[in-house]
């Protein structure tokens, strides 16, 4: 007898083992994904639902842990097992009647796991997410945390953007207001003065995939008029109530980031019961708000907001548990570039964190992120090329 442990973190190991033993490609892939492990946390369930889950777990072979939320807040359950064991709960015709309320949400979660978004609709087209999408950062600010003041003129910013595109960036994100911890707000007219000439200059040179990094509807409108195709809002539509309506009408790509408070107050708001599920819940509300405002789902990307209202330890935990954010079903962008928590781990100053950024991006890719906002595109592209080659072998 020969016993071999297969890698459990990816369905590829099981698929390859089945293919080597004569299985055809499609059945082998379905079987491999079906026996992948899945852990689901259910909160605010009733006593009857909790009891039904315990009985279902005994019959299905899934592990079920339950408890009381306390303070009269209902009950919780944690389910662990193969996807194929848990999937029947998402079907009304196979789940116990007492658990019918679970089906819609669980069905959406499983669908996002099996068929994650493969494209992102932006203004005038779409971007493929089958390979890493690197977003090059162009900050035309005097006070950004790592590169403030480096691009003092529109011509310098345009030249830098051209270099980022040559290095492998597929989208350029232009920001005119620093959102580093403690940063002061920038007047609308000044922010427009900083970003619009750069956007217009890149459009004249034939670059169509341009994003503006702003929280303000007036700035976004000016950037869109200049040719921007994406709006990246670090406040997740919380700062300017009129921004959502503008974005819906303009039919642009939208990046919605998680942040609590403002750059001046966010460091005092980094309190979570469990950071990844808490951030996921808050991002889900943000995305639902965007859709209710008329922004199409296929235009939305979510960003968990590394470094925004999160401690170093929370950022590391969020990176490791990034799959919880991916399970929302939207493409996930990460802004890991040169962040403080990378310095806390490596001991490197802000100007020497590009290697750590590249490694963190590779880890994020393995956990399901597909968009990567960075300062140094070349080294990140190489790290992601290697990560992509291992998760999508040819």
Indicate the pairing of strand 133-139 with strand 333-334.
unpaired
pLDDT of amino acid 120: 98
72's tokens: 């009269």
Which residue segments constitute the domains of the chain, with CATH numbers given? Answer: 35-114 (3.30.1370), 119-391 (3.20.20.20)
pLDDT of amino acid 352: 96
| Interacting residues of 109 by C-beta distance below 8 A, sequence separation 6+ | 40, 327, 329
Give Rg (Cα) of the chain. 22
pLDDT of amino acid 394: 47
- Is residue 172 within 8 Å of residue 164, measured between CB atoms? yes
pLDDT digits (tens, 9 = 90+) for 79-105: 999 999 999 999 988 889 999 999 999
pLDDT of amino acid 150: 66
For the stretch 199-212, what's the b/e string if a residue is b when 16 or more beta carbons lie within 10 angstroms of its beta carbon?
Answer: bbbbeeeebebbbb
pLDDT of amino acid 252: 98
pLDDT of amino acid 71: 60
311's tokens: 């401690």
Beta strands in the chain (DSSP E): 37-45, 63-68, 75-82, 119-122, 125-128, 133-139, 171-175, 210-213, 230-233, 253-257, 300-303, 333-334, 371-374
Q: Rounded to whole angstroms, how far apart are CA atoms 59 and 80?
A: 14
pLDDT of amino acid 101: 93
Task: Give the residue among 249, 255, 244 at the shortest CA–CA distance from 299.
Answer: 255
Cα-flanking dihedrals φ and ψ of residue 72, to 5°?
Answer: 70, 20
122 in the Ramachandran plot: left (φ > 0), alpha (ψ -120 to 50) or beta?
beta
Q: DSSP letter at 7?
A: P
CA angle 185, 159, 236 (to 5 degrees): 35
- Is residue 290 within 8 Å of residue 238, measured between CB atoms? no
CA angle 37, 77, 259 (to 5 degrees): 85
Residues designated as active site: 339, 373
Indicate the pairing of strand 171-175 with strand 210-213.
parallel
Task: Give the residue among 327, 336, 325 at the shortest CA–CA distance from 116.
Answer: 327
pLDDT of amino acid 393: 53
- Is residue 174 within 8 Å of residue 195, measured between CB atoms? yes
37's tokens: 């492990």
In this structure, what is the dihedral angle of CA atoms 312, 313, 317, 319, given to the nearest 10 degrees?
Answer: 20
Concatenating the DSSP letter of every residue in 358-375 gives HHHHHHHHHTT--EEEES
Q: Which residues in the chain show pLDDT less than 50? A: 144-146, 148, 394
Query: Residue 284 burial (CB < 10 Å; 0-12/13-18/19+)?
Result: middle
- Is residue 279 within 8 Å of residue 272, measured between CB atoms? yes
Task: Give the residue among 362, 365, 275 at the shortest CA–CA distance from 314.
Answer: 275
- Is residue 331 within 8 Å of residue 315, measured between CB atoms? no
- Is residue 348 within 8 Å of residue 310, measured between CB atoms? no
Indicate the pTM of the whole model. Answer: 0.93
Chain-centre distance for alpha carbon 279: 11
- Is residue 199 within 8 Å of residue 225, measured between CB atoms? no
Taking each helix axis from N to C end, the angle separating 154-167 and 188-204, rounded to the nearest 10 degrees, works out to 50
């Amino acid at each position: 007898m020969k016993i071999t442990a297969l890698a459990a973190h990816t369905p590829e190991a099981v698929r390859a083992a089945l293919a080597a033993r004569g299985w055809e490609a499609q059945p082998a892939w379905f079987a491999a994904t079906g026996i992948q492990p899945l852990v689901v946390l259910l909160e605010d369930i009733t006593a009857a639902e909790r009891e039904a889950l315990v009985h279902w777990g005994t019959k299905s072979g899934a592990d079920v842990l339950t408890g009381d939320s306390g303070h009269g807040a209902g009950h919780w359950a944690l389910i662990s097992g193969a996807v194929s064991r848990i999937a029947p709960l998402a079907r009304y015709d196979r789940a116990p009647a007492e658990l019918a309320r679970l089906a819609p949400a669980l069905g959406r979660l499983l669908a996002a796991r099996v068929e994650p978004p493969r494209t992102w609709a932006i203004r005038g087209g779409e971007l493929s997410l089958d390979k890493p999408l690197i977003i090059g950062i162009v900050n035309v600010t005097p006070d950004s945390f790592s590169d403030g003041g480096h691009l003092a003129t529109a011509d310098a910013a345009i030249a830098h953007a051209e270099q980022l595109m040559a290095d492998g960036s597929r989208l350029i994100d232009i920001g005119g207001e620093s959102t580093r911890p403690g940063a002061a707000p920038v007047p609308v007219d000044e922010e427009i003065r900083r970003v619009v000439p750069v956007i217009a200059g890149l459009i004249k040179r034939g670059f169509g995939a341009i994003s503006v990094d702003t929280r303000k509807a007036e700035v976004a409108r000016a950037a869109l008029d200049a040719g921007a195709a994406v709006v990246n809002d670090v406040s997740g539509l919380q700062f300017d109530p009129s921004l959502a309506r503008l974005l819906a009408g303009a039919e642009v790509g939208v990046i919605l980031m998680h942040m609590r408070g403002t750059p001046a107050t966010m460091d005092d708001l980094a309190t979570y019961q469990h950071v990844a599920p808490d951030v996921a819940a808050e991002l889900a509300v943000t995305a639902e708000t965007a859709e209710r405002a008329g922004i199409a789902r296929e235009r939305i990307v979510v960003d968990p907001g590394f470094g925004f209202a999160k401690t170093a330890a929370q950022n590391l935990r969020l990176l490791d548990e990034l799959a919880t954010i991916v399970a929302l079903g939207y493409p996930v962008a990460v802004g890991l570039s040169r962040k403080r928590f990378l310095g806390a781990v490596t001991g490197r100053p802000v100007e020497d964190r590009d290697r750590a950024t590249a490694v963190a991006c590779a880890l994020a890719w393995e956990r399901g992120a597909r968009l990567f906002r960075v300062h140094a595109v070349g080294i990140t592209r190489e790290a992601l090329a290697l990560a992509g080659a291992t998760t999508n072998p040819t």
